[in-house]
Chains A and B, each alone.
Chain A
């Protein structure tokens, strides 16, 4: 594992242990609903399902179609805020 992914794993561990990951998840969830991202994604999903047909569509199909869209549509402000939170958390628990 590269140094980078080692660092990532360590940060992730810390986040989970302190329960911060759950809190960040909730924050992100709320932000994405607020800015309308969730509704946009829901709309895309419905489009995909309509295309592929309800009986034949699988989670794989949906995942393949909407993941790139989803990642692209997250507003910068949300990314900024999450990043700020994580930085603040790391600053607090600087033993990493």
Chain B
């Protein structure tokens, strides 16, 4: 059984053999469409004994089906000399050729009578795979799992790079400290969160970025480099000077050695990455320039629905805006935080502690999505009433991103004061966004008040994977990040120092930027 195919198959590989082989696969092996299935059902029986079991094989040179187990096809191979004219116009006969190959109708394997074994011919395997995929598609089965088969080039690479790394549950690969280059902890903390975003990591480690920028200033390329550094296995801290330089080049407002806001850095970084990702949307030209298909958009972009309801005619005007993060007001800020009764929908759902009366993340989200009465000083022109009327405005989530980033607005920069709000906000490990969805709001409005929690709907469930914290005051402070490695292990990243952390440490921390990842991903 040699993997290099067999010499006898060359007798078959003449003229239009590819097309003929495809027809055999389409009609008798992988029958996708209704007609081919009907034909297969009727004709796939042994020409000698009429049975359909017994490992039916089809002769490759003529229309003959025979049992393998009962040796009927073997008889055919020995006896027939091929002066049969096939009534099947697609298959030509070759005078004087012996039938040496046959195809297994259950699995599509090619059997050579001279070699007395199944043979594996690269070209024929290729055709077989394609036909199988086509049939699956026709049947609506879609893409099935198939094991990875390395190409020649990949085999070469594997041979030249013999070092292998095994990922165990307690290995620290992917964790690396970052040197602080002078108040750059605002950048370091975000880099830690991004390098531990699973989908982003997968994108970069599988080399999916095709750079179209001429100069050396592509931030996406630098990100790719960064992932290589993080997963290199080196334990010494990395010095991100190139990244810092690129950030200064592309986001001038963040340049300089002063302390900057980590949230601003996150948005600026996502923006530059999104702009530099131009070539990566797999050639699919998006019709809407605001809605590109780059990896940043795929992971981080959600849709925020804003409904403005006219108080007079109750007409609703809806707009949907893209967002990368949700900025939440906190109690104690100058914008009033309306006290909400505990135990309302949402908080029991997410199991946060209401024991000490602490504000929870879901409280903040409820406040964010509550209907807000726009006062008489802010009348909106209503297209139904054709005049300016008072209205209410409500925000809900139309489309959730795969990674949801919540920004707790701790830094107050109003005209009078600049201060940091240090109110503790309790946030959960697992978050269900269902109550805040536009669809939930619609069903509530349609009178379905008891939104029974659909335990089988997993679309809106999220898991915490990174928390950025700020210690100190507005003038002088320090950023650190908790990130999640493997399922339940957390680490604290404090510039160059990485230490193990407990889940309690994470949940007790103040929280400034909270990164949640969708629990269940689906194909589009």
Q: In this assembly, does B52 line the interface, its C-beta being within 8 Å of a C-beta of chain A?
A: yes
Inter-chain contact B37/A16, CB cutoff 8 Å? yes
Q: What is the number of residues of chain A that contact chain B, defined by CB distance less than 8 Å?
A: 20
Inter-chain contact A9/B118, CB cutoff 8 Å? no
Residues of B within 8 A of A8 (CB): 52-53
Interface centre among A12, A14, A19, A60 (most CB of B within 10 A): A19
Q: A26-B141, A58-B117 are in contact. Are A12 and B52 (CB under 8 A)?
A: yes
Residues of A within 8 A of B42 (CB): 13
Q: In this assembly, does A1 line the interface, its C-beta being within 8 Å of a C-beta of chain B?
A: yes
Q: A9-B45, A9-B50, A9-B52 are in contact. Are A59 and B141 (CB under 8 A)?
A: no
Q: In this assembly, does B171 line the interface, its C-beta being within 8 Å of a C-beta of chain A?
A: no
Q: In the complex, what's the smallest C-beta–C-beta distance from A22 to chain B, in angstroms?
A: 6
Q: Which of A2-44 contact B (CB under 8 A)?
A: 5, 8-9, 12-19, 22, 26
Inter-chain contact B1/A13, CB cutoff 8 Å? no
Q: A1-B50, A19-B139, A22-B139 are in contact. Are A14 and B41 (CB under 8 A)?
A: yes
Residue of B nearest to A26 (CB): B141
Inter-chain contact B117/A60, CB cutoff 8 Å? yes
Residues of A within 8 A of B139 (CB): 19, 22
Inter-chain contact B50/A16, CB cutoff 8 Å? no
Residue of A nearest to B118 (CB): A59
User: How far is it, in angstroms, between the C-alpha of A70 and the C-alpha of B51 when the chains are bound?
Assistant: 22
Residue of B nearest to A55 (CB): B1
Residues of B within 8 A of A73 (CB): none
Residues of B within 8 A of A26 (CB): 141
Q: What is the number of residues of chain B that contact chain A, defined by CB distance less than 8 Å?
A: 20
User: How far is it, in angstroms, between the C-alpha of A74 and the C-alpha of B118 when the chains are bound?
Assistant: 26
Q: A1-B50, A58-B117 are in contact. Are A16 and B41 (CB under 8 A)?
A: yes
Q: In this assembly, does A57 line the interface, its C-beta being within 8 Å of a C-beta of chain B?
A: yes
User: How far is it, in angstroms, between the C-alpha of A14 and the C-alpha of B38 when the chains are bound?
Assistant: 9
Inter-chain contact B52/A59, CB cutoff 8 Å? no
Q: In this assembly, does B10 line the interface, its C-beta being within 8 Å of a C-beta of chain A?
A: no
Q: A9-B52, A58-B116, A58-B117 are in contact. Are A17 and B37 (CB under 8 A)?
A: yes
Inter-chain contact A59/B117, CB cutoff 8 Å? yes
Residues of B within 8 A of A15 (CB): 41
Inter-chain contact A12/B141, CB cutoff 8 Å? no
Inter-chain contact B41/A59, CB cutoff 8 Å? no
User: How far is it, in angstroms, between the C-alpha of A12 and the C-alpha of B105 when the chains are bound?
Assistant: 14
Q: A58-B117, A59-B117, A60-B117 are in contact. Are A19 and B52 (CB under 8 A)?
A: no
User: How far is it, in angstroms, between the C-alpha of A19 and the C-alpha of B141 when the chains are bound?
Assistant: 11
Q: Which of B32-62 contact A (CB under 8 A)?
A: 34, 37-38, 40-42, 44-45, 50-53
User: How far is it, in angstroms, between the C-alpha of A55 and the C-alpha of B139 when the chains are bound?
Assistant: 38
Q: In this assembly, does B184 line the interface, its C-beta being within 8 Å of a C-beta of chain A?
A: no
Residues of A within 8 A of B34 (CB): 17, 19
Residue of B nearest to A22 (CB): B139
Interface centre among A9, A14, A16, A60 (most CB of B within 10 A): A16
Q: In this assembly, does B31 line the interface, its C-beta being within 8 Å of a C-beta of chain A?
A: yes
A sample of 14 cross-chain residue pairs with beta-carbon separation below 8 angstroms, ordered by A number, consists of A9-B51, A15-B41, A16-B31, A16-B40, A17-B34, A18-B37, A19-B37, A54-B1, A55-B1, A57-B1, A58-B1, A58-B116, A59-B118, A60-B117
Given contacts A5-B51, A14-B41, A16-B40, 12 further A-B contacts (CB under 8 A): A1-B50, A9-B45, A12-B41, A12-B52, A15-B41, A16-B31, A17-B37, A19-B34, A19-B139, A54-B1, A57-B1, A59-B109
> Which 7 A-B pairs have CB atoms at the shortest separation, nearest pair first?
A16-B41, A13-B41, A58-B117, A17-B41, A59-B118, A17-B38, A17-B37
